[in-house]
Structure 1
Amino acid sequence: MTEEIATGLLEASIERVWNEHDGEKRIAAIAALYHPEARIYEPERSITGHAAISDTVACVLADMPPGFRFEVTGPTLGHHGVAVTRWKGGPPGQVIVSGADTVHILDGKIHEHWFFFDPPQPR
Structure 2
Amino acid sequence: MSDAVTDYDHLLRSNLNRVFNERDPAKREAAIAELFVETPVMFEPTDIVQGRDAISQVAGQLLQKFGADFAFVPIATAVGHHGLARLAWQAGPRGGPVAVTGADVAEIVDGRIARLWVLLDPPT
TM over 0.5: yes
SS at match of 2:76: coil
Residue-pair matches, total: 121
Equivalent residue for 1:94, pick from 86, 94, 97: 97
Post-superposition, which runs of at least 4 consecutive aligned residues in structure 1 deviate over 6 A? none
Contact 2:9 2:77 (8 Å CA) reproduced: no
Matches of 1:38 and 1:72, distance apart in 2: 22
Structure 1 residue 120 displacement after superposition: 2.1
For normalisation by structure 2, the TM-score amounts to: 0.91
Look up the match of 1:6: 8
SS at match of 2:108: strand
CA RMSD of aligned residues (A): 1.3
Contact 2:37 2:109 (8 Å CA) reproduced: yes
Q: Does 1:108 align with 2:121?
A: no
Structure 1 residue 93 displacement after superposition: 2.8
Structure 1 residue 94 displacement after superposition: 1.5
Unaligned ranges ≥5, structure 1: none
Of stretches 63-72 and 110-119 in structure 1, the one that deviates more from structure 2 is 63-72
Question: How many percent identity over aligned positions?
Answer: 37
Unaligned ranges ≥5, structure 2: none
For normalisation by structure 1, the TM-score amounts to: 0.92
Look up the match of 1:28: 30
